[in-house]
Amino acid sequence: SQQGEEDPQALSIQEGENATMNCSYKTSINNLQWYRQNSGRGLVHLILIRSNEREKHSGRLRVTLDTSKKSSSLLITASRAADTASYFCATFRYSSASKIIFGSGTRLSIRP
């Protein structure tokens, strides 16, 4: 079964606005990752946050993790048309033998 569930499933915002996507998961984790997928392409890793971290930044990306609520959020600030893509959270546990489990993704559209 899916470990991560993203919310919302689809999001459309104006260029320049901030985009926030949420991810919830079911079991304990060692880290949580966010990936991006442009239409018809493979996934690209964006950022990883460890279970003992609460917030992490990378350029215009800000990720938060609340292990007590089993949830994470990805914030993209000052969105650009090129940010249009699907975004997936993925969870990792040391007991899972290198496998990570992906959520169903949020489809983000940036209107010019």
Partner 1 sequence: DVKVTQSSRYLVKRTGEKVFLECVQDMDHENMFWYRQDPGLGLRLIYFSYDVKMKEKGDIPEGYSVSREKKERFSLILESASTNQTSMYLCASSQLGQGDGKNIQYFGAGTRLSVL
Q: In this structure, what token pair is assigned to residue 74? A: 């990805």
Burial 56-75 (b: 16+ CB within 10 A, else e): beeeebbbbbeeeebbbbbe
Among 40, 68, 69, 112, binds partner 1 (CB under 8 A): 40
Query: Considering only CA atoms, which of 106, 111, 36 is closest in space to residue 47?
Result: 36
| 78 binds partner 1, rule: CB under 8 A | no
Q: What is the closest distance, in whole angstroms, from the C-beta atom of residue 105 to partner 1 in the complex?
A: 6
| 22 binds partner 1, rule: CB under 8 A | no
Angle, CA 58 vertex, CA 53 and CA 64 arms, to 5°: 35
Among 19, 21, 103, 110, binds partner 1 (CB under 8 A): 103
| 52 binds partner 1, rule: CB under 8 A | no
| 18 binds partner 1, rule: CB under 8 A | no
* Rounded Cα distance, 88 and 46, in Å: 10
| 97 binds partner 1, rule: CB under 8 A | yes
Can you give the binding site for partner 1, defined by CB under 8 A?
A: 2, 30-31, 33, 35, 40-45, 48, 50, 88, 90, 92, 94, 97-100, 102-105
